[in-house]
Structure 1
Amino acid sequence: MALQAAATAVTAVLLTMLIQVSETTETCFCELRNLGNTFPDEKLQNVKSGATSCTQKITSEQISEIDVLLDQLHYRLLQLEGDIRVLEIEDDGDLFGAISLRIIEIELAEIMDLFVKLNTTNTVQQRLSANTAAQLVNLKSEMELLEKFDRTKVVLEKEKNKRLKRDLKDCEAKSEVTIAPPTITVPGNCPYGHLLNVTGPTSYITTQYGTSYPYGAWGRDPKPALGKEDWYFLVALTSSSVYANYVREYSSYSALILGVSAGDVTIASSNPTTNTVQGPNAVLYGDALYYNCYNSPSVCRFNMSARTVSTVALPAAAYNNKFSFCHLEACYIYTDIDMATDESGVWAVYSTPQNFGNVVLSKVEVDGGLTLGRTWNTSLHKRTATNTFMACGVLYGTRYVDKQNEEVFYSFDTVTGQERFDLGLRIKKTSTNVQSLNYNPRDRMLYMYSDSYVLAYQVTFD
């Protein structure tokens, strides 16, 4: 009891002391003075609005508009040149001449209209470029001033993190395969259906070689290397319309039109020699060129980066102009072995005596070492076709109709084995002959090399 009484007394004393302390406590105020400059929030908002304005003003449509106009102008000039040549040859000084002159007058008016549009577009783009450059300089200056307020280096560290993330992403991208077409594990199992139509040409130009080399191949890589997603390749047979020893590359379609090459990649020291490209039916896939090896019934693969060549033989294949593509009036020399690409990879189209000159189709396995996969025999005689291409594991054959038309008349499905000879899909031509034709699954375009001209067609599936 005594202890309890003592504890009670101590508690009472402590409560009395706390009450006295609380009655004497006063509230303290501290004056905070900002010795530095006030953060210019208004300037930050101006920078944000300026950046948004730049983004809205410059669109991909504006950038590509001048490319389209140049392409149209080039096509019109070639058309005008052809009409004038016809007039010079066939002018009878009477009705025919009057009609032809009227057509030429209309074409000249259209060309002048394109010149006006091109000049206007060019002026607008130059003004836009100048204004944008000035805005970027101002934005950079403003951002440099704003960064001075980052005393704790938060923004600096964020920028370092962004750079590290970007570098990591680039590193991961390099270690993997770059943008690839839809993967078809079973050839012929096409998610788009079968070929329905071929429209175009959407482009029609000569290369920087002009009309010097009527045989060749061009197009885009369906499985491009990193940084080459928009590049184009060109292989012109510069030696007797039979051989080539280098690949010419272009960084964009505009560069191809203007003849501004990104450089030549040399395959062989000269023509003809070991590893020389023989025939016009070459394709690019996975940053490697596939073609008929010089003086051999074999497929060559030239690695564009490593500059190395590997080969695989096509058993009993005809070569050296034995079974070329033909029509009634002529054959396309050294087109015995036709290389093709589609969603599932690379193919070789050729013929053998054992199959009586009919087309033989082989899958070229490109992962790791170069080997042949499965092979199919067809009943399409090679000399009755002018060219072939693959799309979704289906082999398509074309034939000559007349100087203005080619026809996709044949198909062979590698899954079902079904053959058809009645497709009847017309392809409009601007020149008589078709030296090479190949389908790109990445943009679903057909790339044609025709008498020195390079053309592209849009492919439609059902």
Structure 2
Amino acid sequence: MKLFVIVPLCAVLSFTHQALSDDMCVCELTNSGKAFPHDKLSTLEDNASKCQSSITRKMTQELGSLLLGLERRLPQLEEDVSTLEREDDGELYSVLSLHVIENELTEIMQLIDRLNSTTLGHQRLTTDTNKQLEDLKAGMQELEAYDTMQVAKRQKDNRRLRRDLDQCRNGLHPTSQPTQPPVGYCPHGQFLNITGPRVQTAGEYPGSHKYGAWGRDPKPAAGKESWYWMVMLTSGNKFAHYVRLYSSLSSLIVGVSVPGNVQIHAANPTTNTVQGPNVVLYGDALYYNCYNQDAVCRFNLTTKTVTTVQLPKGTRFNSKGNFCHLDECYPYTDLDLATDESGVWVIYTTNQDFGNLVLSKVEEGEPPALGQTWRTSVYKQAVTNTFMTCGVLYATRYVDKDVEEIFYSFDTTTGAERFNIGVFINKMSANMYSLNYSPVDHMLHAYCDSLMVSYKVLFQ
């Protein structure tokens, strides 16, 4: 092995033997080649790293999301205009339809503006990146002149041979297409984006009740398919003892409640009444955090009876495991109830999980029971809210008073976690105190400082 090292060096090095005495021999080593420019190599490496970080997958996904959003909004606008043309009473419904169309046009213009600015930004980035790549290519070609042993050339040849070999193997053994849907399959497709708001209303009590929740029943009783519900925390922004019902979205917007309130108990608060804003309605029953308990209550709207589901020992409650952001924690948000295509879920945290989010399925039955449980690695007090779609948990965080970000997901089918969702929600008020997905119409219902706001969930 030593010969193979010494012989090539002779091309650039010369040795001079000099005898000084009988017992001493000195060799002078002279480098006849140019010194390798290490500083230039380091500069090229830095430039390559910057070039790689300047273009991310998220940027391409953002452009795709905007195009898909625009593609889906235009048919929706056409449908809304057709609805307006079919209405001829000149009163409530026409006014609402005009309001919906006005919102649609505003959102489409916003999408077009964002698409234009994003496209221009990408064009500038492409031009700059192309020049950087040309400079990097020229610099690397200049450095290859120092590769007198042709090591780099042989490495490139080897990589090309390996690539050709892999292509040959794949051609002989083509990958078979799966016959079953992939794990975690969602019938609507992959969660892609949030658009809106589609609806924004102060309802019957403008500015009166800061905390609350609203939405639709994903499994409504017969005759209640178009109904909406609302729960307001009427006692100290902490407690409630009734659910208020509306026969349609129009009734909710104009504040006409029929059949009115369905009362859990005359007193507020008391045993088994509502504590905290994170409540849902499913199967004609209200699910919520029981007053002063680490348990889920289910109030049957027909029989007016309450059953409870005890959560694991060590579950944090009574405002000890809230949703938070840097400036504020939302009181009594220890338990978050959510619905999706499969039923009801509860999101909470425990002492033994050191404050990380825990997710459990609430199984229907008499009485209901706690089903399978999953543990995540996201800290609950770094989250402002959660919701479920197709068995996937999504978490939001506060960006500023105008924007909330869906940043995290946990797939209960695969156990996969992601911290880079990067979907942003335009807020109508600084704080979202409750957030829940409705699989009936693929809407996300938010209660924000007494405002009721809904967003459209887009699937790919």
2:432 to 431, 434, 447: 434
CA distance in 2, matches of 1:60, 1:187: 43
Residue-by-residue CA offset, 1:65-119 (whole Å, 9 max, x unaligned): 33233568999xxxxxxxxxxxxxxxxxxxxxxxxxxxxxxxxxxxxxxxxxxxx
CA distance in 2, matches of 1:304, 1:389: 23
1:307 aligns with 2:336: no
Aligned to 1:152: none
Residue-by-residue CA offset, 1:326-362 (whole Å, 9 max, x unaligned): 0011011000000000000000000001111000000
Shift of 1:254: 1.1
1:220 aligns with 2:216: yes
CA distance in 2, matches of 1:453, 1:424: 25
Aligned to 1:456: 454
Q: How many residues align?
A: 298
CA contact 1:74–1:205 (8 Å) conserved in 2: no
CA distance in 2, matches of 1:367, 1:67: 40
Residue-by-residue CA offset, 1:259-291 (whole Å, 9 max, x unaligned): 111110001111110111000000000100000
2:278 to 278, 281, 302: 281
CA distance in 2, matches of 1:258, 1:210: 11
CA distance in 2, matches of 1:313, 1:61: 50
CA distance in 2, matches of 1:360, 1:280: 18
Identify the range of structure 1 (366-375 vs 295-304) with the bigger mean alpha-carbon deviation: 366-375
CA contact 1:205–1:455 (8 Å) conserved in 2: yes
Aligned to 1:137: none
CA distance in 2, matches of 1:221, 1:451: 22
CA contact 2:84–2:94 (8 Å) conserved in 1: no
Secondary structure of the equivalent of 1:67? helix
Residue-by-residue CA offset, 1:136-157 (whole Å, 9 max, x unaligned): xxxxxxxxxxxxxxxxxxxxxx
Secondary structure of the equivalent of 1:271? coil
CA distance in 2, matches of 1:406, 1:268: 35
CA distance in 2, matches of 1:371, 1:238: 29
Change (3 A) 1:310 1:430: same
CA distance in 2, matches of 1:59, 1:368: 48
Identify the range of structure 1 (365-374 vs 406-415) with the bigger mean alpha-carbon deviation: 365-374
Residue-by-residue CA offset, 1:208-234 (whole Å, 9 max, x unaligned): 111011100000101111111111100
CA distance in 1, matches of 2:365, 2:293: 23
1:203 aligns with 2:232: no
CA contact 2:280–2:288 (8 Å) conserved in 1: yes
Aligned to 2:3: none
Residue-by-residue CA offset, 1:394-442 (whole Å, 9 max, x unaligned): 0000000011100000000001100000010000001000000000011
1:291 aligns with 2:320: no
Partner amino acid, structure 2, of 1:244: A
CA distance in 1, matches of 2:87, 2:331: 42
CA distance in 1, matches of 2:84, 2:416: 50
Partner amino acid, structure 1, of 2:288: Y
Aligned to 1:189: 185
Shift of 1:58: 11
Aligned to 1:67: 96
Change (3 A) 1:360 1:252: same
Aligned to 1:253: 249
- TM-score in terms of structure 1 length: 0.62
CA contact 1:187–1:414 (8 Å) conserved in 2: no
Change (3 A) 1:384 1:62: farther
Shift of 1:187: 9.9
After superposition, where does 1:62-211 map in structure 2 within 5 Å? 64-69=93-98, 188-211=184-207
CA distance in 2, matches of 1:258, 1:212: 16
CA contact 1:389–1:397 (8 Å) conserved in 2: yes
After superposition, where does 1:357-436 map in structure 2 within 5 Å? 357-436=355-434
Cα root mean square deviation, aligned:
2.4
CA contact 1:399–1:407 (8 Å) conserved in 2: yes
Residue-by-residue CA offset, 1:18-73 (whole Å, 9 max, x unaligned): xxxxxxxxxxxxxxxxxxxxxxxxxxxxxxxxxxxxxxx99865574332335689
CA distance in 1, matches of 2:455, 2:331: 24
Task: Return the structure number with greater helix share.
Answer: 1
Change (3 A) 1:333 1:229: same
CA distance in 1, matches of 2:268, 2:210: 17
CA distance in 1, matches of 2:87, 2:219: 25
CA distance in 1, matches of 2:277, 2:437: 15
Secondary structure of the equivalent of 1:326? strand
Change (3 A) 1:300 1:58: same
In structure 2, runs of 5+ residues without a counterpart are 1-82, 105-181
Change (3 A) 1:392 1:73: closer
- TM-score in terms of structure 2 length: 0.62
Aligned to 1:342: 340
Change (3 A) 1:306 1:406: same
CA contact 2:308–2:367 (8 Å) conserved in 1: no
CA distance in 1, matches of 2:85, 2:429: 35
In structure 1, runs of 5+ residues without a counterpart are 1-56, 76-185
2:330 to 306, 311, 332: 332
Secondary structure of the equivalent of 1:354? coil
CA distance in 2, matches of 1:58, 1:341: 32
CA distance in 1, matches of 2:454, 2:390: 19
CA distance in 1, matches of 2:100, 2:207: 17
Residue-by-residue CA offset, 1:183-225 (whole Å, 9 max, x unaligned): xxx9943122331000000011102111011100000101111
Change (3 A) 1:459 1:212: same
Aligned to 1:447: 445
Partner amino acid, structure 2, of 1:431: S
Secondary structure of the equivalent of 2:98? helix
